[in-house]
Amino acid sequence: MSDMLPSDPAPLPEVRFLKILVTALAVTMILGLVTIVGLLVTRLSGPVPLPELPAAVVLPEGLRPISLAFAGNRIVVLGADDRVLVYLRDGTLLGETRLAPTPGAPAP
């Protein structure tokens, strides 16, 4: 029993400081995790309202739409033949353009 080290009654000041830092870091991480979970629950809890499509959108003959996007008060339609059509919310065609095909992309 004589080879046992004597117990130190008071920890060193550096060790006490490190304990405080580790505790503060753990509290900060827990609060951050609770905040992130809370934000996810509040943001994702309800149904997402989808924009309404006007009944008057008329696509050109033979256009096969592959993508639809809502941009403010406009509706953007991308066709399989690389045409981009822009409609207003009331269904009137605002403009049309053709994209350059991507090199190496498969033909539609």
What DSSP state is assigned to residue 23?
Answer: H
- Which pTM was predicted? 0.51
Q: What is the pLDDT of residues 91-105, one digit of tens each?
A: 889 999 998 877 776
Q: Are strands 83-88 and 65-71 parallel, antiparallel or unpaired?
A: unpaired
Q: What is the pLDDT of residues 27-43, one digit of tens each?
A: 999 999 999 999 999 88
Please state, for a pLDDT cut of 70, what percent of the chain lies above it. 85
Instruction: Could you please state the CATH topology (level 3) that the domain comprising 52-102 is classified under.
Output: Thrombin, subunit H (2.40.10)
Buried b / exposed e over 95-105, threshold 16 CB at 10 Å, is: eeeeeeeeeee
